Every structure is written in C-alpha cells, then in structure tokens.
Amino acid sequence: MNVIDRPLLEQQASAKSRLRIIDCDVHPSLHSRADLNPFLPKRWQEHLKTYGDHLRTPYIGTTPYPRSSPLIARRDAWPPTGGPPGSDLEFMQKQHLDALDIEFGILQVLDLFIFSQQNLDFGAAIQRAVNDWQLAQWSDRDPRLKASILVGQDDTVAAVAEIERCAKTGRYVQINVSPRANEPLGRHRYWPIYARAEELGLPLGIHVGGYGGHAPSGGGWPSFYTEEHQSNAHTVAAQLSSLVIEGVPERFPKLRVVFIEGGFGWIPPTTWRMDQHFERFRDEVPHLKRRPSEYVREHFWFTTQPIDEPDNAAHLRSVIDWVGVDRLLFSSDYPHWDFDDPRFAFKTPLTETERGKIFNGNARALYKL
C-alpha cells in the first residue's frame, strides 16, 4: 500500500486498541559509504573508494531500473538532517518506530549489493563490515532494531565463516541470502549455509533483490519498471519451487525459511502446480517423501508486503485462509515508496486473534523475540 493512500484510509479507520507491531522488513541505509570505514580494513577502504562495486549488471552504481534513484523511497522519508532515507536513526524513530508503536523491527540491509559482488573477497569484507555496522549504528542505539546476518551465498565458505562469527554474539535473529543468485537456491552448493542455519536455530531470510547476472523475469529483460517490480513475485515463486523440489526441507527438517517483500498472493497457485506435477513426476524426485504443499505449510513463512489487494476483499480472505494465518508476518518495507502502514494494511477483515498473530505473535515465535 503506497503511503499516498493514507489520508483516504484514515477517514475510514475506526478507533481500535493499539497492537504493538513487529515489523519484519525495515531498511536502514548508509549515510555515505564512509560509514563503513570503521569496520573495513584499510585495503578494502581504498578499494571501495578507488574501484567501487563490480556487480553482475551492466549499470554502474545502481540496479537496471530507475526506481532505485533515489533509493525507491517515500517522498516524506528524507531526513531533515540530510542523507538518504533510512540513514537517520532519530528520524526513523520519530516517523516510524515511535509513531506506529513498533515493538521490534527486523533490519534488512540492501546497500552495496553484497549478494551480487563479483569480487568475492571484496564481497566478504563488505558483508562483515555491514553486519558489524548494523549492531554499532542501529541495534546498540535502539534495542528494538534486530540485525540480520547478511552473507553472499555464492562464496559459501566465506558465508559460513561469517555466520559462525556473527552467531557467537547471539545478537542476530536470522541469516539473509538473495533470491537472485548465480543458481537456484535449492542447489547443493548452497546447502552448507542451510545446514549451519538449522544447527544454530536461525531462520533463513530471503529478501527480494540482488542481481545474479540473469534477467529478472523468465521471459527476458523487462521494458518497464512495473514489469521488473512484478518479477519479484516470479523470482520468489521460482526459488520456493527450487528449495522444495531439490529437497531442502526434507534434508533439513528443522530449517525455517522466510520470504521477505515478495507478497503472498502467488503462493496458492504456485503450490497447486507443484503438487500436480509431483503426482505425475513422483518417480523423478524420490527424495521427496511428501507433497510439496506439505513442506510449504511446515517450513516457510512469508512477509505481507506488498499485499496483493484485489477489488473483492473476499478473494484476499481466501488466499489468507489457504496460506495460513500462522505463516504470515507483517512487514512495512519502511522507508520505501510502497510502504504498508500497519494501521491500514489489510482491507479484508481480520479477527483480533488473527491480527495478533500476523502483526506480532508469529514473528515473536519465529525469531524468538
């Protein structure tokens, strides 16, 4: 839901008791790249200043679509003190955390495209610096903000080492990888990350974004930003299929996976199709002991933003019932332009029990808050 819609919806909002919110998608930003210098060895400080990024995209310093300039942000999210949206903690507190009674916010860092760096040694140094920066600049200053361990999944050895380093602190609530990797995420090359996540009891967060060098849509490179934005749902659907059909939840039965900022309207048809094909090709995937939908319902969670809002609210209600209220986690995507305000995020009616689960209880249990 775009923040522009808020004035219209505020007229319709009835007075309700406040429900404290756990927001599973809050984006902090660097004020400048120099913010990472305290956490980077001198070599990589100089490398960043001299050479910058080396990404799997033909565009320099940004993603291939104009919505990334400036930072896909709400117009009102630019701090009065300067710097990009999401870079000023005091302004974030005033505009989002305090204003909407956010009990906890799960940090999702997108800066510097850690997942897409071609220079893997540089990528490993950046992931370490960003993970330390999250604690020093955000969690230490506001305990409501919980950090995620960002790792570049294509350097599996470095990723596991970084997970080990960060997990020792006990201060991170999940491990983040990108859905746009070099290969589908179900491939065995990524399994050491999943093994360690399972052993540590940390959820695996998969936030939309990243560039693995492939077109973001199965049909090739889109012409318009609206197509590219739509392709986020295609990407996470493909990765859900890969993880399930390659046997990740069968091999790692205690692994919990969260798809972040991919919405959830696509889940029923994707899962129906997987079940249908499983019945016809069962002998090709003997490692699967159950129908794909059973794995999805037991091992995967989905954040709500961007909520697919059909004209008929009953249709969304049917999707929620099929996915399961216990599988949904509220996310705002603050401070981006398609931010969902928790006061108006669902047009379809929810019971107080359901609201309590989606906006707080499910995330509290999953992240052990």
3-state secondary structure 117-160: ECCHHHHHHHHHHHHHHHHHHHHCCCCCEEEEEECCCCCHHHHH
Which secondary structure element, helix H or strand E, spans residue 231, and what is its range?
Answer: helix 225-245
What is the structure's pLDDT at 180? 86
pLDDT tens per residue, range 146-156: 999 999 999 99
Q: Are strands 257-260 and 300-303 parallel, antiparallel or unpaired?
A: parallel
What is the structure's pLDDT at 55? 76
What is the structure's pLDDT at 59? 55
pLDDT tens per residue, range 230-242: 888 999 999 999 9
What is the structure's pLDDT at 9? 45
- Assigned token pair, 226: 């609206």
What is the structure's pLDDT at 68? 55
Distance (Å) of CA 269 to CA 155, 273, 274 = 33, 6, 9
Domain boundaries in the chain?
A: 19-366
3-class state of residue 356 by DSSP = helix
Topology at the third CATH level for domain 19-366 = TIM Barrel (3.20.20)
3-class state of residue 51 by DSSP = coil
3-class state of residue 21 by DSSP = strand
- Measured distance CA(338)–CA(347) in Å, rounded: 16
Phi first, then psi: what are they for 110, rounded to 5°?
-110, -10
What is the structure's pLDDT at 167? 98
Residue numbers of the chain with a pLDDT score lower than 70? 1-18, 57-71
pTM of the model: 0.92
3-class state of residue 313 by DSSP = helix
